[in-house]
Amino acid sequence: MSLALTLSRPLQPCVGRLRPALLRPALCVWPSYRFWASWHRHLNRLNAAAVDGDVHRAEREFETLISQVPREKSTVVYNTLLKAFANNGSAQRAVSLYGRMREQSIRVNARTYGKIIEAHAKIGDLESAMAWLSRRSQDFKSDAVALNMILDAAAQAGLAEEAEVLFLSIEQMGFATTHSFGSVLHALAKAWKPSQAITWLDRMDREQVEPNAICFGAVIDAYAKSGQPQDAVKVLQDMQARKLQPDLVAFSSIVDAFSRLGKAADAALWLENAESCNLHPNIIVYNSIISACARTGNPKQAIRWLQKMQAASLRPDRTSYGGILDAFSKKKGVKLQEVTRWFHCMVNDRHSPDEAAFSCMPIGWM
């Protein structure tokens, strides 16, 4: 008889007695483990849909999950669905879900109100956002997140006066940050109020709040939209003096401002400045310069910039070709075959000519 067989016999009764004892806890834990694993899996799916703002997918995951979740965990599930509504800007759905929480006596918290405020702010409904902020303050302390969220909404809507008033409230509560200043500057830029924007930028210096690239970019945009590119240049140079790197949007604003004034040479200079900062101008920037060339009736330069665009591995669009045709239409003594050639280039590049393109063509060209 082998040693292994000899040793196994006396142990068999012991193993038989121990096996049920060892397995019993595992059998009890396993259903609980499976439940929580399933719960977390569905919650992760719900959160993924919420991040994407995919309301319909989020609602499906919510309904699957909510019937399985213990009551004490319901708030987090409801709040995650509210997150989907907030990211989607579905304010009415958010309010309806809040009503359902109240009806079923589900605990609400500061995050619940925050997501409803965010949903209204997302669609620019500042009045409702403020009303929900007021309701929130009855049970929870006001915080910087909720207030700045409403300020951001005012900025996105270009409501400069409302943004300034909101900022003062935030400042009085001690919640003002660089981001808060940036939101006011963004609102002023959208409202085409560069002089007020530069005043706010100076105020940041006085209050020893360091402006970031976003703050400077907003002021540059304000001057550019108001047709004051030289002032925008000064702000950009001040930004660089503070060791802040302007982004492509800042340079694009200046290029576009010069282009709209028909100053193609200045626009081209600032496109080159962007390239010297290791930025890669996009098709919108190139089209701005082509448009500037068109305004001055300079098809030769317009073509040169289209070719530079192609050299940068950018495919010209309908606007690019339309700019060249527009430049030809403003220049006297143009040969018909030149204009026709670029019209056909547009078609061959699979861009359907629009009414503006046809209006640039000489009479009798067909």
In this prediction, residue 10 carries a pLDDT of 45
pTM score:
0.68
Quick one: average pLDDT of 251-261? 94
In this prediction, residue 57 carries a pLDDT of 95
On the question of pLDDT at 1 being above 60, the answer is: no
Q: Rounded to whole angstroms, how far apart are CA atoms 342 and 307?
A: 13
- Supply 340's token pair: 């026709």
In the chain, the amino acid numbered 337 is Q
Average pLDDT, the chain: 86
On the question of pLDDT at 15 being above 50, the answer is: no
Q: Comparing C-alpha atoms, which of 197, 246, 250, 178 is closest to residue 221?
A: 250
- Which residues, including other chains, have CB under 8 Å from residue 147's CB and lie 6 or more apart? 133, 166, 169, 170, 173, 175
Q: What phi and psi values does residue 255 have, to the nearest 5 degrees? A: -60, -45
Q: Rounded to whole angstroms, how far apart are CA atoms 266 and 216?
A: 21
pLDDT tens for each residue of 142-171: 667 778 888 888 888 888 998 998 898 888
Q: What is the residue-wise DSSP string for 257-323?
A: HHHHTT-HHHHHHHHHHHHHTT----HHHHHHHHHHHHHTT-HHHHHHHHHHHHHTT----HHHHHH
Domains, the chain, ordered by start:
34-141 (1.25.40), 143-246 (1.25.40.10), 283-366 (no CATH)
In this prediction, residue 32 carries a pLDDT of 62
Q: Is-contact 347 336, C-beta < 8 A?
A: no
Q: Which phi-psi region, left, alpha or beta, contains residue 145 (left: φ > 0; alpha: ψ -120 to 50)?
A: alpha
On the question of pLDDT at 18 being above 50, the answer is: no
Give the Å distances, CA to CA, from 2 to 10, 13, 15, 217. Answer: 14, 19, 20, 85
On the question of pLDDT at 240 being above 80, the answer is: yes
In this prediction, residue 134 carries a pLDDT of 85
On the question of pLDDT at 33 being above 60, the answer is: no
Q: How many CB atoms lie within 10 A of CB 26?
A: 9
Alpha carbon 231 to chain centroid, angstroms: 27
Q: Rounded to whole angstroms, how far apart are CA atoms 250 and 241?
A: 15
User: Using CA of residue 207, residue 213, residue 215, residue 216, what is the dihedral sign?
Assistant: positive
Percent of the chain with pLDDT over 70: 89
pLDDT tens for each residue of 91-100: 999 999 999 9
The conformation of residue 22, written as its DSSP 8-state character, comes to H
* Burial of 318: CB neighbours in 10 Å, binned 0-12, 13-18, 19+: middle
Q: Is-contact 357 318, C-beta < 8 A?
A: yes
Strand residues in 40-90 grouped as ranges (E): none
Q: Rounded to whole angstroms, how far apart are CA atoms 295 and 316?
A: 19
Q: What share of the chain is helix, strand, coil (3-state, %, to 5)?
A: 75, 0, 25
pLDDT tens for each residue of 164-195: 988 988 888 888 889 999 999 999 998 999 99
Quick one: average pLDDT of 286-303? 93
Q: Comparing C-alpha atoms, which of 265, 259, 183, 198 is closest to residue 234?
A: 198
In this prediction, residue 73 carries a pLDDT of 85
Alpha carbon 23 to chain centroid, angstroms: 54
In this prediction, residue 35 carries a pLDDT of 60
Quick one: average pLDDT of 266-290? 94
Q: Rounded to whole angstroms, how far apart are CA atoms 310 and 317?
A: 11
